[in-house]
Chain A
Amino acid sequence: MRIRLTLGVVLTLAAPLWSQGTTALYSRWNTLSGFEFQRYGFAQGLVVKSASQWSLPLVVVAPLGRRMSLDLTTHFAHSAITDSAGGSADFTGLTDTQLRLLYTVGRDRAVASLSVNLPTGKRSFTTTQFGVSSAVSSNFLSFPVSNLGTSFGITGGLAYAVPAGGWNVGLAGSVRYQSSYKPLSDSGATLSYDPGIESRLRIGADRVVAQRGRLLLGFTYSSFSTDQFSGGALVSGTFDPGSRLIGDFGYAYTWGRTTLTLGAWDFYRLAGRSGTGTGAIGTAGNNENIFNTELRLARQLSPRVVVEPLVGYRYWNLGGHLYSVGVNGRFGLSDSFSGIASARISPGSVDGTGVTGLGLSLLLRYQR
């Protein structure tokens, strides 16, 4: 799944938050649902002819008193692939559900978090369905739901923010534990996979630039302890995923009813290491670098309607690039209902083979 980082979260949160005396980071009830669709069609030359997914997300945020909030996130998703030989595989079902509790410590500078991953999604697939899971988990293609289901997990986190000169600096760290599970249901039914502990650190800073501009810089580092898998002597081994680094940048400039936004991130993954049950250890070929940038121009047509055309570019060091053209439309239906509709087409290539992506989404939010 993707995290949508917002430079302007304060628009809906912080302004009422600070003025209303509550210190909860999410101080109002929110419900979000809608429809997301993503499809990639590949020209001849690759095994896969198409990979597609539609999903119905459900997000509920509930304030609990003046310091806490609880949020729930899940999806109902359908993912499918077809191959150039005429074969196909698909999977439809609920994904895992994340329950997250946020607690504001002290006045308003620190937030503690406890998140639980409930294994409501399917986590054991046939080897055929595993191809579907493989397709949607691509960082480069970036499907809305990139993980169909795993196991029970728990994440503890702490974030702290402090003003420093003209900057607002945020620091955060988290640790995630995930229990073992059996990822395959047919020929590998005996395989048990025990993911290692993930640790994540982030430093981010934002500031107003020249009164009407907003600049954001962020850096996130993740490290993983070694995953273990077993299922008998021949299928035992280890996998060290390798560290992950993400740098992100955003700049928004507003004049009148128009906002120009330039955003970019770079995802860099160091090579991991794989070890077999026989004790041999080698470098895993999972290192990759993905750079993504977008330029958006939002124009407020009325107090409750914003149209935002965009162009984007994504580069993958393993031989891929995508260009994107699209439009977002943000609208308010009433004081409580708002939404965002998006459409985007992304032509490009992978390993020298043409690819065309299509993304459509309609998300509706109710806030109380």
Chain B
Amino acid sequence: MTSWVRALGAVLACAAAAACASGGAGTASLSPEGLTALEAQRAQHPTDPDLNLRLAKAYHAANRFADARAALATVLLQQPGNRVAQAYLGFTYEGLEQFDSARTIYGMLLAGRPSGEVSRLLNGRLALLARKELHANARAALARESELSRTPPDPSTVAVFPFRYTGQDSSLRPLERGLAALVVSDLSHVRSLRLVERERLQALLDEMQLSTSGRVDPATGARSGHLVGAGQVVQGQFQEVPTAGVRLDAAMVRAVDAGVAATGSGRDQLNLLFDVEKSVVFQLLGKMGVPLTPAESLAISERPTRDLQAFLLYSRGLEQEDRGDFGAASASFRAAAQRDPSFQAAAQQAQSSDAAQSAGVGSESNLAAAIGGSGPGGPPAGGTADALTLAINSTVPSGAAIVSGTQTTTELNLPVRNDPVCEAAGCGGPTLPPPLSVGTIIIIINRP
């Protein structure tokens, strides 16, 4: 027994040491010396695809994206179908802020009909990519601000600022984003308006490092409108009021002159928050003279949920997602969807946050491994290679079949010929009669 324990311990220690030595799952970083050694090896074998792939991973981990791209080009020149290299090329393009190229790579991988899990991860990565792109665009817009400020934005395009909470109950603060998302959703039903995505404006505000008071300043609204190409900006605030009510105020600010085009205001019990919000939206649209069809009015009147607690959880999820905490966001969205299973936006956000969490920064190694090991949807279609491997392993047995099997899901254990002497003696079997009493050979050899 103790020998088993020692053996098992040795194996586990070996595995742990190896995992540590390799940097563990999810990282391909190397020490500068390790990187130099790898570069020296590559100098000896400049076109070796394995070496170049390892080097590309190390360069990626060291944020040397241009070098990573060059190494990956070498790999893909020889192995155009190497999906791990393709995945790393996507990550590398992200690092180079060449988002269109990265999107093309991920789109190509998705077009290969990978398994559901890999699709989920790739979609999560695309969501993260979109987020990175929003921030990069925001930075670019700020850099071009003087130019953009001279360009009149589209008057039918509307951006919605996160609402400013001016009350004392910090548990309500997440509603700042929830209400903005709700207003964006409502206004998006109006065909004559184009809405700036909430996340896009949020990325800009993050880059501007705007103070909370700036969110209700019409000059800031007008400036932001120019930067995101919105001719009109909704800004607002809310707070709790005596007798357990809530008050919501909003204004539509023209980006061209920072003038207030319309205002709306509502007040009611907190549990009627959605009614208040709808009322404010209808007021803004009415004062702006935006005509609404009955269908548009009906769509705006729809509540995403009737459960205020679920909406609060959803709002918290938005806040966490904006912070980049996708794990917490996923949990909040999921909790919201559990409270109200009909709350579709929460369920969708839970899925996308979950995928973004799995595919996020630091998970490149796992993601690449999943992509590299994924078949084209469903079980891998191996062509003749599979049949060939099975055939040779069945007729010329080897432990190599087990090596193949450790990453696969379908195995059959077939018996091969056992000890021939034992077969001849007829002794093999679970009844295990004394060997000396059964079989031809043993009986014979025990004669004096």
For residue A305, give the distance in angstroms from its CB to the closest CB of chain B: 10
Give the interface residue-count category, chain B.
35 or more
Our pick among A7, A138, A355 for the contact of B429 (Cβ within 8 Å) is: A138
Is A88 an interface residue, CB under 8 A from the partner? no
Residue B289, interface by CB 8 Å: no
Interface string of A108-131 (1 = CB under 8 A from B): 111101010000000000010011
- Please, which residues of chain A bring their CB within 8 A of the CB of B387? 161, 168-170, 204-206
Known A10-B383, A244-B417, A355-B430; contact A286-B388, beta-carbon cutoff 8 A? no
* A190–chain B nearest beta-carbon distance, Å: 8
* Inter-subunit contact B382/A333 (CB<8 Å): no
* Docked pose: A336 CA to B396 CA in angstroms: 27
Q: Does A64 contact B (CB under 8 A)?
A: no
Interface residue from A8, A130, A172, A362 paired with B379 (Cβ < 8 Å) = A8
Q: Which residues of A contact B15 (CB under 8 A)?
A: 333, 337, 339, 364
B140 within 8 A of A: no
Task: Give the chain B neighbours of A19 by CB distance below 8 A.
Answer: 79-82
Q: State A259–B407 Cα separation when bound (angstroms).
A: 13
Contact B403 A61 (CB under 8 A): yes
Q: Mark B52-88, 1 if CB is under 8 A from A, else 0.
A: 0000000000000000000000000011111100000
Q: Given A204-B387, A362-B11, A47–B433 Cβ distance below 8 Å?
A: yes
Residues of A within 8 A of B391 (CB): 159-161, 170-172, 202, 204
CB closest residue in chain A, given B371 = A303
- A residues near B386, Cβ cutoff 8 Å: 7-10, 14, 168, 170, 206
Q: Which residues of B contact A25 (CB under 8 A)?
A: 385, 388-389, 392
Q: Is the CB of B7 within 8 A of A35?
A: yes
Q: Are B419 and A147 in contact (CB under 8 A)?
A: yes
Give Cα A102–Cα B442 distance, bound, in whole angstroms. 39
What is the bound-complex CA distance between A185 and B390, given in angstroms?
Answer: 38
CA distance A37 to B7 in the complex (A): 12
* CB-contact partner of A350 in B11, B421, B430, under 8 A: B430
What residues on B are CB-neighbors of A109 within 8 Å? 384, 388
Query: Could you give, for residues 205-216 of chain A, a 1 whenever the CB lies within 8 Å of some chain B CB and a 0 otherwise?
Result: 110100111101
Q: How far is the CA of A4 from the CA of B411 in the complex (A)?
A: 6
From B7, B22, B442, A56 is in contact (CB under 8 Å) with B7
Q: Once bound together, how far apart are the Cα atoms of A308 and B405, in whole Å?
A: 14
- Shortest beta-carbon distance from A22 to chain B in Å: 10
CA distance A54 to B4 in the complex (A): 8
Complex interface: chain A residues within 8 A of B425 (CB) = 130, 134
Q: For A8, give its contact among B8, B408, B430 (CB under 8 Å).
A: B408
Indicate the member of B389, B395, B436, B446 with the most A CB atoms within 10 Å: B395
Instruction: Give the docked Cα–Cα distance between A59 and B400 (Å).
Output: 7
CB distance from B185 to the nearest CB of A (A): 29
Chain A residues within 8 Å of B23, by CB: 334
Question: Interface stretch among B92-100, B246-254, B256-264, B361-369?
Answer: B361-369
Kindly identify which residue among B365, B393, B430 contacts A5, using a CB–CB cutoff of 8 Å: B393
**B32 touches A (CB below 8 Å):** no
A6 touches B396 (CB 8 A): no
Residues of A within 8 A of B442 (CB): 127, 130, 188
With contacts A25-B389, A267-B415 taken as known, whether A115 is within 8 angstroms of B396 at the C-beta atoms is yes
B445 within 8 A of A: yes
User: C-beta contact mask, B370-388 vs A, less than 8 Å → 1, else 0?
Assistant: 1001010111111111111
Distance in angstroms between the alpha carbons of A308 and B442 in the assembled complex? 44
Given that A7-B386, A212-B379, A274-B440 are contacting pairs, would A2 and B416 also be in contact in the complex, using a CB cutoff of 8 Å?
A: yes
Inter-chain CA distance A242–B248, complex, in Å, is 89
**B22–A337 CB distance below 8 A:** yes
Min CB distance, B256 to chain A, in Å?
A: 50
Report B108-142 residues with CB < 8 Å from chain A CB. 115-117, 121
Residues of B within 8 A of A337 (CB): 15, 18-19, 22
Contact yes or no, A277 B444, CB < 8 A: yes
Give A33 to B25 CA distance when docked, in angstroms: 20
Query: Contacts A6-B411, A9-B382, A134-B427 hold; do A61 and B400 have CB atoms under 8 A apart?
Result: yes
Cα A212 to Cα B414 with chains together (Å): 25
Whether the pair B116, A256 counts as a contact (CB closer than 8 A) is: yes
Q: Report the separation of the CA atoms of residues A10 and B384 in the bound assembly, to the nearest whole angstrom.
A: 9
B245: CB under 8 A from chain A?
A: no
Asked if B441 and A235 make an inter-chain contact with CB atoms under 8 angstroms apart, the answer reads yes
**A6–B4 CB distance below 8 A:** no
List residues of chain B with CB within 8 A of the CB of A235: 441, 444-445, 447
Q: Are A201 and B382 in contact (CB under 8 A)?
A: no
Any B CB within 8 A of the CB of A345: no
**Which B residues are CB-close (under 8 A) to A6?**
389-390, 401, 404-405, 408, 410-411
Docked pose: A306 CA to B414 CA in angstroms:
23
Is A356 an interface residue, CB under 8 A from the partner?
no
> Which interface residue of B11, B23, B369, B414 has the most chain A CB atoms within 10 A?
B414
Tell me how far the C-beta of B413 lies from the nearest C-beta in chain A, rounded to whole angstroms: 5
Given A35-B11, A147-B418, A161-B387, are A334 and B24 also a contact pair (CB < 8 Å)?
yes
| Among candidates A2, A195, A200, residue contacting B420 with C-beta atoms closer than 8 Å | A195
State whether A32 touches B382 (Cβ < 8 A).
Answer: no
A201 to B388, CA, bound (A): 13
The answer, among B22, B78, B409, for a CB contact under 8 Å with A306, is B409
Partner of B385, one of A18, A200, A264: A18
A48 located at the interface, meaning its Cβ lies under 8 Å from any Cβ of chain B in the complex: yes
Given contacts A3-B413, A35-B7, A134-B435, contact A252 B406 (CB under 8 A): no
- State whether A5 touches B394 (Cβ < 8 A): yes
Q: Which of A76-111 contact B (CB under 8 A)?
A: 78, 81, 98, 100, 102, 108-111
When chains A and B are docked, how far (Å) is the Cα of A51 from the Cα of B435?
15
B395 touches A173 (CB 8 A): yes
B402, CB-defined interface residue at 8 Å: yes
A-contact 0/1 string along B19-54, CB 8 Å cutoff: 100111100100000000000000000000110000
List residues of chain A with CB within 8 A of the CB of B416: 1-3, 146
Give the distance to chain A from B332, nearest Cβ to Cβ, in Å: 21
Please tell me if the beta carbons of B385 and A201 are within 8 angstroms of each other in the complex. Answer: no
Contact A146 B424 (CB under 8 A): no
A290→B436 CA distance, assembly (Å)? 25
Which B-chain residue is minimally distant from A194 (CB atoms)? B420
A214–B379 Cα gap in the complex (Å)?
A: 6
B210 CB within 8 Å of chain A = no
Contact across chains for A14 and B414 when beta carbons are under 8 A apart: no
**Interface contact A227-B420, CB-CB below 8 Å:** yes
B3: Cβ under 8 A from any A Cβ:
yes
Contacts of B390 in A (CB 8 A): 5-7, 9, 170, 204, 206, 216, 218
A326 is an interface residue with CB less than 8 A from chain B = no
Q: Is the CB of B392 within 8 A of A108?
A: no
Knowing that A14-B389, A350-B430 touch, tell me 13 more A-B residue pairs with CB under 8 angstroms: A8-B410, A11-B382, A25-B389, A42-B430, A137-B428, A168-B384, A170-B391, A204-B394, A264-B412, A334-B18, A335-B22, A335-B365, A364-B15
10 cross-chain pairs, A with B, having the tightest CB-CB distances, nearest first: A10-B382, A170-B387, A73-B399, A19-B81, A212-B378, A14-B385, A170-B391, A59-B399, A172-B391, A7-B410
Can you list 7 A-B contacts with CB-CB less than 8 angstroms, sorted by A residue number?
A: A8-B379, A20-B49, A138-B418, A171-B391, A188-B442, A284-B426, A306-B409
